[in-house]
Structure 1
Amino acid sequence: MRTLFDENYSLASTQQRKNKDIPEGGSKGTVLLNIDCQDKAFVAFEKYVDSILDLLLDGQTPGIKDKLVDLYGKQEILFFGPDEGTAGFMDWASHHARKRGAKFWKAFTTGKSQSMGGIPHDTYGMTTRSVHQYVLGILRKLGLDETQCTKLQTGGPDGDLGSNEIKISKDKTIAVVDGSGVLCDPQGIDRAELTRLALARQMISEFDVSKLGPQGFRVLVDDHDVTLPDGTVVGDGLTFRNLFHLNSRAHADIFVPCGGRPESVDINNVHKLLEDGEDNAPHFKYIVEGANLFFTQDARLFLEKRGVHLFKDASANKGGVTSSSLEVLAALALSDDEHQKLMCKQPDGTLPEFYQEYVKSVQTSIEENARLEFECIWAESERTGKPKSLLSDDLSFAIIRLRKELEETDVLWNNAPLRRHVLSLALPKLLLDKLDLNTILARVPENYLRAIFGAFLASRFVYKYGIEPSQFSFFDYMAPFFDQISNGASH
C-alpha cells in the first residue's frame, strides 16, 4: 500500500510515453482490495467500471447526475485494457457498458475474446513484434548475425512476451528465468524443446532436462541444496531465481527482460552486472526492455556509460498499445452489424477474412512504428552522444508536446483537404477500403479523429527530423502534404 501510488504513477508515465504513436493518452488504474476482501476482485472491478461509466455517461444513473461537475462540456471516451488480475473481465465490461447505454461499448475494453472482436496480443505476438524490432535494429546497425548471438531472458515460455520472444527469435538462448525457476545452458538451450514449451505456454519446470548440455542445469523455486555442474551448491531455489539476472552466470550478448518486478535492477545492485577484474566489462552488450520498469533510470545510465546499447520500455514495449488502439478504431468505425460480421469469431469457430487481414495490418503498423523510433533514437545518439534511455524520453516528450499543440490549434485541422489527406494516410487502408473515409468521419468521434491527426503528424515529423529540429523543419515537413492536396491527392 505504501508504494502502490508510486508504482502506479510510474506505470502511467511509461504508458503515456509508449502511446506516442496512437490517439489514446496513457494511464493506469489500480483496484486495491481490503485485506479481508482478497476473494472479491470481480465485485470490486464491477464497482470500478460503474464509477467510470457514471462519469463518462454524464450521470445518466438516477441520483448521480446532480453530484457531478462536467469541466469539459463535451463527450468523453475512455478505453479499458487488461492488466494484472483483470484480463478475464474484459468481455463483461463491454457487455455492461452496452447495458448502461454507452454508444462506444464495443470499444470500451480491449483484450476481449475474439468472439467480441478482440485481438489477443499473445496469440499474435503484438508486444513482442515491437520489442524484437529493437533487437534486430541493434544487430543490423552492428552487422551481427542473430543466430551467433547469445541471449538471456526473464519471463518464460508460459507468458505472453516470453513465449513470443522464443518463437520469433533465432538467437542462442543461454538462460531463461520464469515463475518456476532458472533454466541455463552455456552452450545454448535446445531450441526445439524451448519452442515446444512456448507453443504449449508451459513453464521451464516442464523442460526435458535430458536435452541440456554437460554444463546445463535447471533450478526450480522449490529446490534446496542443488549442486550445479561446476560444483556450486544452490541453497535456496527461490532466492537463486529472484537474483539470477545479477548472477555471474547470467552472461550473454543480449538481455531481453520479458517479465519481472519493477526496479529489479537499480543503482544499488547494478554493479553486479559488471565482470570482476580491471575492465569491469558488462555482463550484457545489448539490452532491450520488454518488461516495464525492469531497470531504474539510474541503472540504465550506469550501464550506458559503460558501453551497453540499451533501449528502454517506453520505446520497445509499445506494440501492445498499438494493437489495442487499432482494435478500438475498428470498433468505433464499424456498425454493430458490421463489427459482428467482420471482426468477431463466427458461431462455427471461424475468423472472418477481414479480421485476419486486419490483424496483419496491425502487425505491420507495430513493426513500422518500432523501426521508425529505433532509427531516430540511434541517429540522435550518434549525433549527440546522449544516452539512448534519455533520448527515448526526449523523443516521447517531443512527440507528445507537438501532438498536443496540433490537437489544440484549428489552423491545420480546419483545412478540410489537408485533414482528409492526413487521415487517409493515418487510418488503416483495409478500413478505408471497406467503409470509405466519409463513413469513418461520420462515425468516429471528432476528438478521436483529431487525436489520430495529431499523433500521425507529430510522430512522423519527430522520427524524420529528430528531437531538436530547426525552426523551418515543420514547413519542410508539411510542404509535400500541401503539394499533394493541391494536386488532388485527396477528395
Structure 2
Amino acid sequence: FSVGNPHQKDFLTQVSEIFQRLGIGVRRSYCLIISTGVHPYFLGNFYVLTHDGKLVEKGSDLFRKLQNELYNTQILSTSSVSYTDFVTNRILTGEEASLTNAFAAFCHTFLAHKEPDRFDESVVTKAFHSNPDITLRLIRLFKSRFDPDIPEREGLYEKERKEALEVIEGYNTGHRYLDEVRRTIFRTCLFFIQRTLKTNFFVPEKHALAFRLDPEILSDQGPAFASDLPQGRPFRITFFFSRHAVGYHIGFSDIARGGWRTIICKTPDECTTNTNSVFKEVYVLAHTQHLKNKDIYEGGSKLTVVMDAVGLDSPALVTQRLYKVQYGILNAFLDLFVTEKGRAKHPGVVDYFGEDEPIELGPDENMGDAMIEFIARQSVKRGYILGIGIMSSKEIGINHKEYGVTSRGVMKFAEVAMKEIGIDMSRDPFTVRFTGGPNGDVAGNSLRLLLERCPKAKLLSLVDGTAGLYDPEGAERAELRRIVLKQDLDHFRPEALHPGGFMLFRADRRQDGLRELYRKVIRGEKGVEETWITVDEFYKEMDELVFTVSTDLFLPCGGRPETIDRSNWQKLLDSGGKPTVRVITEGANSFITPVARSDIQKKGVIVLRDASANKCGVISSSYEIIANLLMTAREFLAHKEAYVQDVLAILEKRAEE
C-alpha cells in the first residue's frame, strides 16, 4: 500500500501495532519514501500471514478490518490518550478511538466558546477516558444510527438512545460539580449524535471526519448557550476533525459562499486560545458574510480550521501538514456533499438530510494557489454539483490577490470617508496605520494601492503575524514597495527605518534562564541597535502599535476576529479621552465587535464596517461563479482579460456608490 504525505512520527510503529492487534504476522517487508521535493510518499510491501499461518484473504472480514485500520492511521494520533489507553489495551478499535477523539473535540470546541475554563480540552478528554462504559455506549449509539450495514437502524437507535440518556442523567460519582460538568459533556455528545444528519465515518478511505449537523443542536443547549452569538439561526453546521486539526463550516442559507481559513498554531497556548474560540469565530464570520451577501443569490458561510503545528521546526514541515489537513478536510467535505438525486452518493454515508447543498468556498488565511486549483479539480473529479464553481480565485476565474479585488473596495471606502474629514488621499498629506501582512491579499493590495495612489501618505505602524513596525516619519516607501505582495513584514530591513523607529519580531526568540525574550531592533541616530525584551513587554508594545499610535486613518486588514471588543476599545483613546484615529475602514472581517464599534463611533470616529468595506471580494466571486456556470474553461480563458477588466470597473463603481 502507499500513503501520500504520511505522518512523519511513529507511522511504521503504528502500522506494526495494527498487524499485532489483528493477529497478523509480518514475514518480511520493503518500505520506501519518495519525495517530490514538496511532499513525501510512503510505499510499503508487507508479506503477511495470520498468527495461525493462514492468508489474509481479500474480501474477508479480517482484510476489511486491516484495510480500515490502515486508513485510520491518517486520523488517529499515537500520542492521543484514546490510543494509549483504549487501543493498545484492546478496549477500542483504532476507528472507535478516532470517533472518541472527535466526540471530545466537538464537545470541547462547542462548549468552550461560552465557558472555556469549565470545558477545557483536558477536562472534556478526561470525561470520556475516565468513563469507558459511557464512551462505549455513545459509540454504539452512533453506529446504530449511521452504520449502513445495520438493518432496521431506527428501532435499534431509539432503544440505544433511551438507554444512553438514562445512564447520562443518572451519572453520579458523589462529586457534585464534576458530575454536573461531565453530564453536560455526555449530554452534548448525545445531542451531537442525535443532530448529525450525515457523516463520512463509514467511508473507508478518509483523512478527516465530517459531521453535517442540524442547527437545532443550538436549541438543545438552552437559550443561554447562544446569547453571545449573533442573532439568526444557521442553515447548517458541519464539524470537521482530523489528526492535527479541528474546525467548522457554518452556512446561513442553503446556497451559501464564504472563505476557508486555516489558523496555524505554533505553540500550545495558541492551540488552546484558538480551539476555545473557533466555534464562535466561525459563527460570527459566517454571519458577517451573510450580511455582505444580502444583494446576491448566495447566502453567507465560513469554514475555519485550527491546525496544530506545535513542534514543527521548519516552514517545509508546516506546509506539508497544512496540505495534509486541507486535503483531508476537502475530501471529507466532498464525502458528504457530493450527491445523487439529493442524497449523499457514497454508499458509506447514511443521509438523513436528503437534499443537494450547493456550497461555494473561497480563499482566506493560509489558502495557497496550488490548493485552490486542486480543490476545483477534485470537485470536478468527484462529481460535486458545482464543479469548478466550488472555489473562487482560481486560474479559470479572478484571483483575489493578483487583482486586489477586495482591497479596491476597502481603499475606495477609505477615500470617501477621508474626504468627509477634509482629506483628499490622492494629494493631501495624512498618516495611517495597518494590521495585516504586506504579503497578504487584503493588507498587501491595500498597501500597494496606498503607495500607488497616495503620494503623501505616511505609514506610521504596521503589524502582521511575523512582526510589528513603528516609524515616526513614515516607513520608507521604497522598502515597502520591495516587499509588498512578495514577503511578510519580518523581511522589512530595519536599516530603512527613520531614527526613533523600531521593529518587533515574533519568531526571533531566545531563553534567558526561565524567561523567554523577543528580539527588538531600534533605529537610532547612529544606526540599528538590537535588544531583547520580555514577553510582557513584547505584547504591550504590539498592542500600542495597534491602539495608541496616533493616525488619521486606521486600516485593519488582517488579524483575529474581535481584536477590538468592549473590554479594550478604550485603548484607542489618549490620556485625555480623545481618539487616536479619525477614520477606521475595516478590511478584516469582524475585527471590531458591534458593541465596541458603536462605542467608538460615539467618540466621533468614522467607522466603516467590514460587511460593506470589504464586500468587493464577494461581488468578484459571484461574477466568477456565474462565468464558471455559463462558459466552458476554454471560453472563459479566451475572454478572461476583458471579463476581469469589466468586473474591476464594476467593483470601483459599486464601492463608490
With structure 1 as the length reference, what TM-score do the two structures score? 0.65
Q: Percent identity?
A: 33
Does the CA contact (< 8 Å) of 1:131 and 1:316 recur in 2? yes
> Which structure is larger by alpha-carbon Rg, 1 or 2?
2
Q: Give the gaps of 5 or more residues in structure 1.
A: 344-351, 373-491
What is the distance in 2 between the residues matched to 1:44 and 1:253?
45
Does residue 243 (structure 1) correspond to residue 543 (structure 2)? The answer is yes
In the alignment, which residue of structure 2 is the partner of 1:78? 359
Q: Which has the higher contact order (CA 8 A, sep 6+)?
A: 1
**Aligned partners of 2:349, 2:462: CA distance in 1, in Å?**
53
Q: Is the 8 A contact 2:338 2:382 kept in 1?
A: no
Q: Which has the higher helix share?
A: 1
624, 628, 634: which one aligns with 1:340: 634
Q: Is residue 329 of structure 2 the alignment partner of residue 45 of structure 1?
A: yes
Where 1:91 maps in the other structure, the secondary structure is helix
In structure 2, the CA distance between the partners of 1:5 and 1:210, relative to structure 1 (3 Å rule), is closer
> How far does residue 297 in structure 1 lie from its aligned partner after superposition?
1.4
Report the residue type matching 2:302 in the other structure.
Answer: K
Compared CA separation, residues 212 and 65, structure 1 to 2 (3 A): closer
Q: 1:225 to 1:6 in 2, by over 3 A?
A: closer
Show the counterpart of 1:431: none
Is the aligned partner of 1:256 residue 2:555? yes
The equivalent residue for 1:120 is: 399
| Shift in Å, 1:107 | 1.3
Question: What does residue range 429-444 of structure 1 map to in structure 2 within 5 Å?
Answer: none
Instruction: Report how far residue 233 of structure 1 moved.
Output: 8.8
Distance 1:34 1:187 in 2: 39
| 2:591 maps to amino acid | F
The amino acid of 1:16's aligned partner reads H
Q: For the structure 1 residues 208 and 29, does the alpha-carbon distance in structure 2 shift closer, same or farther, using more than 3 Å as the test?
A: closer
Secondary structure of 2:363 counterpart: coil
| Counterpart code for 2:278 | L
Find the partner of 1:98 among 368, 380, 402.
Answer: 380
Q: Does 1:13 align with 2:287?
A: yes
- Give 4+ residue runs of structure 1 displaced > 6 Å after superposition: 32-39, 230-233
The offset of 1:191, in angstroms, is: 1.4
Counterpart in the other structure of 1:89 = 371
> Does the Cα contact within 8 Å between 2:460 and 2:473 map onto a contact in 1?
yes
Give the direction of change, closer, same or farther, for the CA distance of 1:66–1:216 in structure 2 (3 Å limit). Answer: closer
Cα shift at 1:342 = 3.0
User: Using a 3 Å threshold, how does the CA distance of structure 1 residues 76 and 299 change in structure 2: closer, same or farther?
Assistant: closer
Spell out the pairing of 1:442-481 with structure 2 (5 A cutoff).
none
Q: Quick one: structure 1 residues 23 and 228, their matched pair in 2 at CA, closer, same or farther if it must change by over 3 Å? A: same
Give the superposition deviation at 1:35: 9.8
Number of aligned residues = 350
Q: Describe the SS at the equivalent of 2:469.
A: strand
8 Å contact from structure 1 (residues 227, 233) kept in 2? no
Instruction: Tell me the distance in 2 between the aligned counterparts of 1:288 and 1:326.
Output: 24
Check the 8 A contact 1:56/1:77 in 2, yes or no. Answer: no
Q: Does 1:203 align with 2:488?
A: yes
Q: Which residue of 2 aligns with 1:219?
A: 504
**How far did residue 31 of structure 1 move?**
4.8
Gaps of 5+ in 2: 1-108, 113-276, 311-319, 509-517
> Are residues 164 and 84 of structure 1, via their aligned partners in 2, closer, same or farther at CA, if it must alter by over 3 Å?
closer
**CA 1:69–1:133: 2 relative to 1, 3 Å:** same
C-alpha distance in structure 2 between counterparts of 1:49 and 1:319, whole Å: 27
Q: CA deviation at 1:303?
A: 1.0
Would you say the 8 A contact 2:432–2:554 is kept in 1?
A: yes
State how far apart, in whole Å, the 1-side matches of 2:305 and 2:468 are. Answer: 32
Residue by residue, what CA displacement relative to the aligned partner does 1:73-115 show, whole Å, maximum 9, x if unpaired? xx65332223334444332232223223346313122122x1x
Contact preservation (8 Å) 2:434, 2:462: yes
Displacement after TM superposition at 1:296 (Å): 1.2
Classify 1:187/1:105 alpha carbon distance in 2 versus 1 (closer, same or farther; 3 Å).
Answer: same
Matched with 1:67 is 351
Residue 205 (structure 1) shift: 2.2
After TM superposition, the structure 1 = structure 2 runs for residues 302-341 of structure 1, keeping only pairs within 5 Å, are 302-334=599-631, 336=632, 339-341=633-635
Measured at CA, do residues 371 and 145 of structure 1 come closer, stay the same or move farther in structure 2, by a change above 3 Å?
closer
- 1:130 aligns with 409
Contact between 2:436 and 2:559, CA under 8 Å: does it hold in 1? yes
Aligned residues of 1:150 and 1:174 also touching (Cα < 8 A) = yes
Q: Is the 8 A contact 1:157 1:198 kept in 2?
A: yes
Q: Which of 52-61 and 214-223 deviates more?
A: 52-61
Check whether the contact 2:288–2:611 (CA below 8 A) recurs between aligned residues: yes
The match for 1:274 is 573
What secondary structure sits across from 2:359 in the alignment? Answer: coil
Q: CA deviation at 1:124?
A: 0.6
* Aligned-residue CA RMSD (Å): 3.0
Q: Is the 8 A contact 2:461 2:545 kept in 1?
A: no
Q: How big is the shift at 1:216?
A: 2.0
SS of 2:629 mapped into structure 1: helix
TM-score, scaled relative to structure 2: 0.49
Give the alignment partner of residue 480 of structure 2, picking from 186, 190, 194: 194
In the alignment, structure 1 residue 178 sits paired with structure 2 residue 464 = yes
The residue aligned with 2:47 is none
CA–CA distance in structure 2, aligned partners of residues 257 and 176 of structure 1: 10
Of 568, 572, 581, the match for 1:284: 581
Question: Does the 8 A contact of 2:483 with 2:492 survive in 1?
Answer: yes
The alpha-carbon deviation at position 246 of structure 1 amounts to 4.6
Residue-by-residue CA offset, 1:277-318 (whole Å, 9 max, x unaligned): 2xx110101000111111111211111111000011111111
Change (3 A) 1:153 1:65: closer
